[in-house]
Amino acid sequence: MNITENALKVLEKRYFSKRETWDQLCDRVAAKVAGDEKTADSRKVWQKKYRQTLNSLDFLPNSPTLRNFGRNQGSGSACFVLPIKDSRRSIFQTLSHAVDVQAYGGGTGMDFSTLRPAGDRVRSTDGQATGPIAIMGIFDYTIGDIIRQGGTRHGANMGILRVDHPDIEDFIRCKAIEGKLKNFNISVAVSDRFMEAVSADAALELVFKKKVRRTVPARQLWNQIVDGAWRNGEPGIVFIDTINRNNPLKALGTIAATNPCGEQPLLPYSSCNLGSINLSRMVTGDWTQGPAALDEDHLDEAVAIAVRFLDSVISVNNYPLPQIREMTLKTRQIGLGIMGFADLCIKMHLCYGSDASISLANRVMAQIHAAAHEASEALGREKGVAPVFETHETDISHRRNGALTSIAPTGTLSVIADCSSGCEPHFALNYTKACLDGEQLQMMPRVVREWVSVHGEGKLPDFFVPSAEVAVLEHIAVQAAFQNSGVDAGVSKTINAPYQTQRDEISEAFMTAWRSGCKGITFYRDGSRDAQALYAEPPRDGGGALDGLCRGELKARPRATNGPSLKMKTACGNLYVDPHFDRDGAIEVFIRTVGGGCAANTKALGVLMSYCLRAGIAPETIIRSMKAIDCPACTKAISAGKNVEVNSCAAGMGKGLEVAMENADLYCRLAEQIEGVDQHFSGGSKPQIRSRCPDCGHVLNRAGGCVVCANPECGWSRC
Quick count: other Cβ atoms within 10 Å of Cβ 380? 20
Q: What does DSSP assign to residue 489?
A: S
Give yes or no for a cis peptide into 235 (omega within 30° of 0).
yes
Pick the catalytic residue from 263, 424, 474, 620: 263
Strand order in the sheet with 439-443: 439-443, 431-435, 534-536
Instruction: Tell me how far apart the alpha carbons of residues 201 and 637 are, in angstroms, rounded to a whole number.
Output: 51
- Structural contact between residues 312 and 36, judged by C-beta atoms closer than 8 angstroms: yes
Q: Which residues make Cβ contacts (< 8 Å) with residue 423, sequence separation at least 6?
A: 338, 341, 361, 407, 478, 479, 482, 491, 493
Instruction: Tell me how far apart the alpha carbons of residues 719 and 487 are, in angstroms, rounded to a whole number.
Output: 59
Pick the catalytic residue from 26, 79, 174, 261: 261
Q: Which of 103, 106, 31 has the alpha carbon at shortest distance from 76?
A: 106
* Distance set, CA 272 to CA 94, 263, 486 (Å): 19, 11, 17
Determine which helix (DSSP H) or strand (DSSP E) holds 638, and give its type and residue range: helix 632-639
Check if 259 is active-site. Answer: yes
Instruction: Tell me how far apart the alpha carbons of residues 408 and 417 are, in angstroms, rounded to a whole number.
Output: 14
- CA 626-133-323 angle, 5° bins: 130
Q: Which residues make Cβ contacts (< 8 Å) with residue 216, sequence separation at least 6?
A: 169, 203, 204, 206
- Structural contact between residues 368 and 336, judged by C-beta atoms closer than 8 angstroms: yes
Task: Give just the sign of the alpha carbon dihedral 74, 77, 78, 79.
Answer: negative
Instruction: Tell me how far apart the alpha carbons of residues 304 and 308 are, in angstroms, rounded to a whole number.
Output: 6
Classify 534 as helix, strand or coil: strand
Pick the catalytic residue from 183, 259, 273, 401: 259
- CA 394-256-319 angle, 5° bins: 80
Q: Distance of alpha carbon 131 from its chain centroid, rounded?
A: 23
Put residue 384 in one of left, alpha, beta given phi > 0 → left and psi -120 to 50 → alpha. Answer: left
Q: What does DSSP assign to residue 421?
A: -
Instruction: Tell me how far apart the alpha carbons of residues 521 and 236 are, in angstroms, rounded to a whole number.
Output: 6
- CA 675-698-562 angle, 5° bins: 20
End-to-end CA distance of the chain: 67
Check if 263 is active-site. Answer: yes
Alpha helices of 149-275 — where are they, by DSSP H?
A: 168-173, 192-199, 218-232, 240-245
Q: Dihedral of the CA atoms 465, 466, 472, 475 (nearest 10)?
A: 70
Q: Which of 167, 214, 206, 168 has the alpha carbon at shortest distance from 188?
A: 168
The bridge status of strand 431-435 relative to strand 534-536 is antiparallel
> DSSP readout, 64-117?
HHHHHTTTSS--S--EEEE---SSHHHHHHHHHHHHHHHHTT-EEEEEGGGSPP
> DSSP readout, 125-159?
TTEE---HHHHHHHHIIIIIIISEETTTEE--EEE
List residues with catalytic annotation: 259, 261, 263
